[in-house]
A = this chain, B = another copy of it.
């Protein structure tokens, strides 16, 4: 069991669905040529992350763009996790849509922990995990602020998830989240964590990059700087059992706490 994981630290073209889809297609082609099985995009990649004044009705064309993203997944034979805001009957959502390598939608994850005043005023929080199988591994999804809560990632590990992918939009001055927290989530659960941040700027925000793919010891299999970058890493699920054979946090958690 193992998969080749790709994560795209990029900016897209916020507000321009066609231009952003062109970037999705270009990056998917590059990831496919590099042998990737799964490609992750940042939080709000399709729509842009920070859209001041966003209200219901303010996301025209997103559903059609998602159909096009599914076609890109099928053409490149890549599973994809695509961050996008969604306009749902119950309210606006900050979401990640998962496609399998045939281009079929597996599910839509809605961010459960909303960060800051704008997100809290704009979105309805999700209340459920989304897990799927890819390359023989069990994969879970978290979005940005979600990963800052150890409870949420612990629940993924306890449910058997081996890799958590985290589309994110981490901005200055919060670099410490990328630097200190992502490795801890991987290590304390002995799982893989892929933190996929945006690069570039949006109104009022400067994203910090610093995406990484972490192994079950918290070590970086791949580490980005600030600018656009495609990170690639082989995810060998057997490492999890090997780490837990020496010392299992999940077992000791059940034993003592």
Residues of A within 8 A of B (CB): 112-116, 125, 145, 148-152, 154, 176-177, 180-181, 183-185, 187-188, 217-219, 247, 249, 252-253, 256-257
Contacts and interface: CB of A to CB of B under 8 A. Distances in A.
Contacts of A253: 149, 151
Given A152-B257, A249-B148, A180 B187 contact: yes
A93 to B, nearest CB: 14
A151 B255 CA distance: 14
Copies of this protein chain in the complex = 2
Contacts of A256: 112-114, 125
A175 to B, nearest CB: 10
A249 B13 CA distance: 31
B217 A176 contact: yes
Contacts of A154: 150-151
Nearest to A184: B184
A116 B180 contact: no
A245 to B, nearest CB: 13
A180 B180 CA distance: 6
A180 B218 contact: yes
A156 to B, nearest CB: 13
Given A181-B184, A187-B176, A116 B247 contact: yes
A236 to B, nearest CB: 18
